[in-house]
Structure 1
Amino acid sequence: MMNQPKLALGIVWVLVLIAGCGRGPQSTTRVSTPADAAGPPMVKADGAADPCTIALTPHEGTSRADEAIIRLQQASRQSQQPMAYLERLGWAFVAKARSSFDPGFYTLAEQCALCMASKQPDSAEALLLHGHVLNQLHRFREGETLARQLVAQRGLSYDYGLLGDALMEQGKIDDAVAAYDHMLQQKPSPQGYIRAAHVRWLTGDLPGAIQLMRMATNGFRDPEASAWSHVRLTLYELQAGQVQQATNRIAATIDAWPDYAPALAVHGRLLLAEGEPHNAIAPLKRAVALNPLPESQWLLIEALHAVDRTDEAKAVEQTLMQRGVADDRRTLALYLATTGRDPGLAVQLAQAEFKVREDVLTLDALAWALRAAGKYQEARAVNARAMKAGTRDARLFYHAGVIAAAVGEHEEASHWFARATAERQMLLPSERAQLIKAAAAIL
């Protein structure tokens, strides 16, 4: 196991704002763009659409978030010095993207950043906004470039946070740790504690992850960020076998935010873990309706199959297959490899995702896809890389066991199967069944 990364002081061991985890990318709400407006958009001299025009294209909506966007657009148009309004507008678009699960708002936030840069090329505020959007859109290498520029230019807490996010998603764990060390030395914060919790989980320290995530849940002012931290903590508690705490936490989160798709999805997952697929269907259907991500669709398919509602499961699977490539290549690759539907496509999707992200979970997806395609030695090599961080995850253990068994390493396979079995509540029902069969086959 790789040594635990260490950070200064005993403040926290920091890492990663889980860029996009459970939040996007597919939209559920249509965003108006200049193409929807009357008349053509203003263009720059080089023929490209003007980012200021795009950002200030009149927005519609009646929610508080929509009204804030409309006010900030009006103020930006009317002000002789619009930079501050444009910055606030950009972050308002980010908030709208997070709450609506519509990535189109990230695109509009990016246009705000580009508009700001056109007015003030050295704007650190524009760099921070733009870098955040790039990370959310999984353009991590571009995000790293901007973050390094920002750190060199200004070097504030959130600048280092931005850099750490981009580095972590590319699998550059030690460099990300260094960036987050700078972040937390300057300003301990809930955002830092979330990163700390994730790195503890990533490197196998589940108790540490729980402790730090509990610190994070007490500090957020933003309701959506608070809800997300409770959702993540619910999963940690479930993994630790703290089922009643997890159940109470997710129930309270849903009570506070009834239509928060990540909370509904985790509620369904918890019910599946408890052997209650009938009860899991309703929250999972609602989660999929609000934000049809492949991960939630897969959970719903599992619940429907478990109660013999096969036709409904097939309908959800059809949607997953149609939209999964655009929505979440990594999860679709895992689904295809797990179900044996199309191993070749699974490999293609995982390889495409690996070009963008080289983190532990993407390595695992690639190894699993290669195994499904019968490329056992390649799968073995990639899996070895995935396991180096020491991540404590039942799915990773199960995959490692199957791959080890495929190359004749039965003793090693037995070790990984035992570890997966110890945390089998984190596996889907079909994975638990496959784990039992795989473990029995090497006895």
Structure 2
Amino acid sequence: MKKRFIYIIASLLFVFATGFIILKSKTHSVEKQSAFEELLSRNAIISQMEEWKLVKAKFEALQKKIKENPSDIKSLLPLTSLYIQEGRASGNLSYYNEAAMKCVNQILKTEPNNFEGLTFKSMILLSQHRFDEGLVVARQIQKINPYNAFVYGLLVDANVELGNYPAALEAADKMVSIRPDLRSYSRIAYLREIHGDIPGAIEAMTMAVDAGAPGDENTEWCRVQLAKLYEQAGRIKDAEMHYTIAGNNRPNYPYAKAGLARIAIAEKNYTKALLLYQQADSLIPDHTFKEGMAEVYKLMGQPDKARVIAEEILEYMKKLSGNKKTGQNEDHEMAHAYMGVGDYDKALEYALAEYNRRPGNIEMNETVATVYAVKGDYAKALPYINAALKTNCKKPELLCLAGKIYAKSGDKEKAKLKLQEALKNKPLIAESLKAETEVLLKSL
């Protein structure tokens, strides 16, 4: 299951700071109905953060104003921002996306061309994995204000997910020329990674981290992404350093704990890795932490426990995917969840459904290729892995998969090149994948 949208998710979406929003408001009469949903209680640990007190105080103040005047756009806009940011901080994305969209719909009912309202709408649609709809709204916003950097960030995100990489590069160049900051540098980094320039990606993500405030969630998220880039480059000590800094700057930051868990696996300290993943999993709901726990259980020789975790992930994703009224699309994640329990036919069904929505996206091509490969149908996997490699992405897991598919398809020379490239920098990858790749390489 992909962490990318966690880069995606989480990635992909940086939430407006309140000060970034230019409030332009008119007051119109609308129905006297509640425009807000209540805040969900945070996990006991992260609820102790000073930030949570500030969030609740701000919510109560905005709630009071909107109760008095449901058409108060100057209050609805920051409430929308609060919901989006709380979804990111708590991991309850589906709930808060729905809450934020409710506010946005009320804003746009009053002012259909409200710039900030449309910007939030595009952000929410992208977070819900409704990328084509998000792109349509982003283009609408671009016409309203073609000189706003954040608009181009939305265009980058939407075009990346839809596989329109030249358009994404063009939007990123425009974004960074207007406003060189954490948001633009991080997107440049991601695009460089997609196109196989890991040193360039590290350089840009370092600039993103340096442009942010230490301890801020966006900054530490970027720092974690920087550490992951170091993992790909085989610079494990640098990765560990940045995960540690992120955890120190933002105590109980789950993504920093998950990163340190991967470092512990590389050191074969499985007990420590399991504890770190369990701690991360206890902080916010994110299936990638449970995936990590399942991997550790397998390494510890406890496949039954790994299977239980995989089934928990599937049940969680079914629940999330089954709530259609939220508008959340989870077909890609469902494909990985079904692969986790060995139901490859269902995995293929969901993978192809999402692929048909965005056939140009390299991650979707990688996922379809993966399912066909585990089913042993390498002939069908071949065109998808070729498409997944079209941007020259150097992600080690992708190269390992490509090498395996080429080897099974009879192209030993191509397979050898991809497998050698995958292991060249001694990247941090799953132990099972590393072992399989080494054995396959020796056989060629």
Instruction: Determine if the TM-score, normalized by the shorter chain, exceeds 0.5.
Output: yes
> Match for 2:203 among 185, 201, 211?
211
What one-letter code is carried by the residue in structure 2 that aligns with 1:163? Answer: L
The higher-RCO structure (CA 8 Å, 6+ apart) is 1
Structure 1 counterpart of 2:173:
181
Q: Structure 1: 5+ residue runs without aligned partners?
A: 1-15, 25-49
Is the alpha carbon distance of 1:319 and 1:20 closer, same or farther for their aligned partners in structure 2, counting shifts above 3 Å? same
Looking at structure 1, the residues matched to 337 and 38 of structure 2 have their Cα atoms a distance apart, in angstroms, of 40
Matches within 5 A, 1:324-343: 324-325=317-318, 326=320, 329-330=331-332, 333-334=335-336, 337=339, 341-343=342-344
Structure 1 counterpart of 2:387:
385
Matches within 5 A, 1:291-330: 291-325=284-318, 326=320, 329-330=331-332
Query: C-alpha offsets along residues 303-352 of structure 1, whole Å, 9 cap, x if unaligned?
Result: 12212234432321221232345476545635755x78222122112112
Matches within 5 A, 1:128-147: 128-147=119-138
In the alignment, is residue 237 of structure 1 matched against residue 230 of structure 2?
yes
Matches within 5 A, 1:49-88: 53-59=33-39, 63-79=53-69, 82-88=72-78
Looking at structure 2, the residues matched to 314 and 21 of structure 1 have their Cα atoms a distance apart, in angstroms, of 26
Is the alpha carbon distance of 1:278 and 1:23 closer, same or farther for their aligned partners in structure 2, counting shifts above 3 Å? farther
Question: How far did residue 204 of structure 1 move?
Answer: 0.7
In the alignment, is residue 285 of structure 1 matched against residue 278 of structure 2?
yes
Structure 1 counterpart of 2:369:
367
CA contact (8 A) 2:73 2:107 kept: yes
Looking at structure 2, the residues matched to 216 and 352 of structure 1 have their Cα atoms a distance apart, in angstroms, of 35
Query: C-alpha offsets along residues 352-378 of structure 1, whole Å, 9 cap, x if unaligned?
Result: 232444422221011111222233222
Structure 2 counterpart of 1:409:
411
TM-score (norm 1): 0.84
In the alignment, is residue 422 of structure 1 matched against residue 424 of structure 2?
yes
CA contact (8 A) 1:58 1:73 kept: no
Structure 1 counterpart of 2:436:
434
Looking at structure 1, the residues matched to 432 and 185 of structure 2 have their Cα atoms a distance apart, in angstroms, of 34
> Match for 2:188 among 179, 188, 196?
196
Question: How far did residue 434 of structure 1 move?
Answer: 1.8
Question: How far did residue 435 of structure 1 move?
Answer: 1.5
Structure 1 counterpart of 2:150:
158
What one-letter code is carried by the residue in structure 2 that aligns with 1:350? Answer: A
Looking at structure 1, the residues matched to 372 and 33 of structure 2 have their Cα atoms a distance apart, in angstroms, of 46
Question: How far did residue 253 of structure 1 move?
Answer: 1.2
CA contact (8 A) 2:399 2:418 kept: yes
What one-letter code is carried by the residue in structure 2 that aligns with 1:274? Answer: E
> Match for 2:268 among 275, 280, 302?
275
Q: Which moved more, 1:299-308 or 1:195-204?
A: 299-308
CA contact (8 A) 2:212 2:219 kept: yes
Q: Which moved more, 1:404-413 or 1:303-312?
A: 303-312
When the two structures are aligned, how many residues end up with a matched partner? 401
Give 3-state SS (helix, strand or coil) of 1:218's partner: helix
Structure 2 counterpart of 1:148:
139
Looking at structure 2, the residues matched to 228 and 218 of structure 1 have their Cα atoms a distance apart, in angstroms, of 12
Is the alpha carbon distance of 1:244 and 1:99 closer, same or farther for their aligned partners in structure 2, counting shifts above 3 Å? same
- Percent identity reads 23
CA contact (8 A) 2:31 2:70 kept: no
Query: C-alpha offsets along residues 280-323 of structure 1, whole Å, 9 cap, x if unaligned?
Result: 11111112223343322222111122122344323212212323
What one-letter code is carried by the residue in structure 2 that aligns with 1:377? Answer: A
Q: Structure 2: 5+ residue runs without aligned partners?
A: 14-29, 42-51, 322-329
Is the alpha carbon distance of 1:381 and 1:167 closer, same or farther for their aligned partners in structure 2, counting shifts above 3 Å? same
Looking at structure 2, the residues matched to 51 and 178 of structure 1 have their Cα atoms a distance apart, in angstroms, of 42
Question: How far did residue 54 of structure 1 move?
Answer: 4.9
Structure 2 counterpart of 1:124:
115
Give 3-state SS (helix, strand or coil) of 2:212's partner: coil
Taking only aligned residues, the RMSD between alpha carbons, in angstroms, comes to 2.6
Looking at structure 2, the residues matched to 410 and 340 of structure 1 have their Cα atoms a distance apart, in angstroms, of 31
CA contact (8 A) 1:295 1:331 kept: no
In the alignment, is residue 264 of structure 1 matched against residue 265 of structure 2?
no
In the alignment, is residue 107 of structure 1 matched against residue 109 of structure 2?
no
Looking at structure 2, the residues matched to 352 and 271 of structure 1 have their Cα atoms a distance apart, in angstroms, of 36
Is the alpha carbon distance of 1:192 and 1:107 closer, same or farther for their aligned partners in structure 2, counting shifts above 3 Å? same
Structure 1 counterpart of 2:352:
351
